[in-house]
Amino acid sequence: MSARILVVDDVEVNVRLLDAKLSAEYFNVLTAFDGFQALKVAQDEHPDLILLDVMMPRLDGFETCRRLKADPRTCDIPVVMVTALSEASDRVRGLEAGADDFLTKPVNDIALFSRVRSLVRLRRTMEEWRHREDVYGRFSALIEDGRAAEDSGPARVLLWEESTNAATRLAEMMAPITGELVRPTVPEDLARQCDASIDLVILNTMGKADALRIISKLRAQEVSRLVPILLIADPDELPRVAKGLDLGATDYLLRPLDRNELLARARTQVRRKRLQDRLQENYQKSLSLALTDSLTGLYNRRYFTVHLDGLLARMREGARGPALLMIDIDWFKRVNDAHGHAAGDEVLREVTARITRHVRAFDLLARYGGEEFVVVLPDTDRRVAEAVAERLRVVVAEQPIRVSQPPTDLSISVSIGLAITEDANETSASLLRRADEALYAAKGRGRNRVVAFPEQAILKDAVA
């Protein structure tokens, strides 16, 4: 996962060290050497994440963070404070200033990269929700400002701790923000009891249960996919914690636990969850038949056009452009002619379901018209787009589709045309034209295949 990281430190050696480490992991690095310069770079360049030193002259990291979080242009950028201060009170001060995380010098590489990847992934998801909210706002007056959602009411917390004594201590520490504490007795109950009403999961990595498998199961469930997960671990478990963050955990604390830091991190996660809930609520409120396809439930062509225009406009702010897939169901007219339009509708719904299960949460799938679909892949290079396109082709074709009247198994395949954004002057019309040409080539070369623009760049020759 590539991202642009702003490194802020008044000591040039520290900046160069972090620059080298991040560049070696294929991140793009921006630099600033004091708080005022950091504010300007953040406003002008909109990085994906900021690594911010605390001890700086003129404007220290705490005040810089407060100003970043108070500015609507930069408030959504994750901030990780990096400092030699190691007291829990300093970490709490940073978190209360709005920081998303806190790393102590010398920075452990495992902790650094796991934090960066986790926060960048979270930023991308939140950014996509905000973009959808903005698009829907052009069509609806029902949108409420998600930024104002600072609900500080009691939280519903799910706690997994096998030790009764440890669970009691954690419950006491969390009491100031907990309205209801849910404590499953077996791992299977944890997955069952974790739904969208849970504000935070606290998960002890020690014990008989496999914490990583629990994280994976929670993220696989639709109802718990976005619930924040806070890991409690020992200092020697950092590699395991890093794996947990890769699987979808959102934060962690190392023992011995400090009550104030636990509360500060928990409050941060609960606020983020409630903001995310508000964005989703706004999304649902503004969803209307004017923007969706009644048969498949997908976005329609009208919404897709506005969405794609918005992503292309971001390129002028330095973001990487999207990739576009155009998908056509092969020989669909034959399905309608031979089996009736009801069977054709079942095929459309099943193809929709299969594609939906195999695109990312921040990708956009829309019905373009008839038997044609489009998938917009934000911030995606050619290699990833090719892999996604081929995966979608396979999941549609590998199993027949069952239609009910009369009960029949139909072998269905799709042809896919792929186009990559070329430059900041790209328009939705030009990107669509290239994807359409690639789709036309895929159909001309036998169907059930993926072709990237230009048409000679054939990715997969499948048997039609």
Please give the positions annotated as active site.
371
CA distance 124 to 307: 15
Q: What sign results for the dihedral spanned by CA atoms 23, 29, 34, 38?
A: negative
Q: Do the beta carbons of residue 1 and residue 117 sit within 8 Å?
A: yes
- What residue spans of 315-427 are helical by DSSP H? 332-339, 341-356, 382-397
Phi and psi of 368, rounded to 5°? -80, -30
Q: Please give the single-letter amino acid code of residue 138.
A: R
CA distance 238 to 109: 10
SS3 197: coil
Q: Do the beta carbons of residue 272 and residue 200 sit within 8 Å?
A: no
**Radius of gyration from C-alpha coordinates of the chain:** 24
Q: Convert 356-380 into a string of H (helix), E (strand) and C (coil).
A: HCCCCCCCEEEEEECCEEEEEECCC
Smallest CA-to-CA distance from 317 within 4, 22, 2 is with 4
CA distance 350 to 397: 12
CA distance 321 to 339: 41
CA distance 215 to 219: 6
Phi and psi of 335, rounded to 5°? -65, -50
Q: In what order do the strands lie in the sheet with 178-182?
A: 178-182, 155-160, 200-204, 229-233, 251-254
